[in-house]
Amino acid sequence: MSSVVGAESGTPLPCISAAKSSGRANRYQSRPTFDEGVLEPYDEQIVNPKAAPPHWAPACTDRELTLHQLSPYIGKLKSVIARDLVEQYTTPGQLVVDPFCGSGTVSLEAACLGRRVFASDASSYAITLTRAKLGPPASEETALCYVDRLGCKIAALPDPDLRAVPPWVRRFFHAKTLAETIKIANFLKSRSQHFYLAALLGILHHQRPGFLSYPSSALVPYLRTRKFPPDKYPDMYAYRPVIPRLRAKVSRAFKRPPAHSPSHFVEASRRSFVHNVTLPPAIDCVITSPPYMNALDYIRDNRLRLWLLDEPHSESQERTNSTLRGFRASMLNLASKIERRTKKGAHCIFVVGERVARSRPCYPSRELARAFLTNAPSFQLQEIMRDHIPDIRRARRARTGVKVEHFLVFRRVR
Ligand X SMILES: C[S@@+](CC[C@H](N)C(=O)[O-])C[C@H]1O[C@@H](n2cnc3c(N)ncnc32)[C@H](O)[C@@H]1O
The contact set with ligand X (CB under 6 A) reads 73, 75-77, 100, 102-103, 105-106, 121-123, 126, 273-274, 289, 291, 298, 317-318, 321, 330
Q: How far is the CB of 271 from ligand X (least distance, A)?
A: 9
Nearer to ligand X, 130 or 177 (CB): 130
Q: How far is the CB of 103 from ligand X (least distance, A)?
A: 3
Ranges assigned E (strand) in 320-378: 342-353
Q: How far is the CB of 22 from ligand X (least distance, A)?
A: 31
Q: How far is the CB of 376 from ligand X (least distance, A)?
A: 18
**C-beta of residue 321 within 8 angstroms of C-beta of residue 133:** no
Nearer to ligand X, 277 or 346 (CB): 277
Distance, in Å, from the CA atom of 126 to the CA atom of 99, rounded to the nearest integer, reads 11
Distance, in Å, from the CA atom of 132 to the CA atom of 40, rounded to the nearest integer, reads 43
Nearer to ligand X, 121 or 354 (CB): 121
Q: How far is the CB of 124 from ligand X (least distance, A)?
A: 9
Nearer to ligand X, 70 or 147 (CB): 70
**C-beta of residue 411 within 8 angstroms of C-beta of residue 284:** no
Q: How far is the CB of 214 from ligand X (least distance, A)?
A: 27
Nearer to ligand X, 99 or 215 (CB): 99
Alpha-carbon distance values, 258 to 97, 390, 391 (Å): 20, 27, 28
What b/e readout covers 319-351, taking b as 16+ CB neighbours within 10 angstroms? Answer: bebbebebbbbbbbbbbebbeebbeeebbbbbb
Using a 10 angstrom Cβ sphere, with 0-12 exposed, 13-18 middle and 19 or more buried, the burial of residue 382 is: middle
Nearer to ligand X, 47 or 82 (CB): 82
**C-beta of residue 184 within 8 angstroms of C-beta of residue 198:** no
Nearer to ligand X, 44 or 315 (CB): 315
Give helix then strand counts, H and E, for the chain: 16, 10
Q: Nearest residue to ligand X, using CB?
A: 102
Supply the angle between the helices 364-375 and 324-341 in degrees, to the nearest 10: 40
Nearby residues of 314 by Cβ (< 8 Å), 6 or more positions away: 273
Q: Cis peptide before 394, with omega less than 30 degrees from 0? A: no
> Nearest-CA neighbor of 295 among 406, 407, 408, 403?
403
User: What is the distance of C-alpha 383 from the center of its chain?
Assistant: 23
Nearer to ligand X, 43 or 109 (CB): 109
Q: How far is the CB of 212 from ligand X (least distance, A)?
A: 22
Q: How far is the CB of 183 from ligand X (least distance, A)?
A: 27
Nearer to ligand X, 184 or 334 (CB): 334
Distance, in Å, from the CA atom of 111 to the CA atom of 134, rounded to the nearest integer, reads 8
Q: How far is the CB of 335 from ligand X (least distance, A)?
A: 14
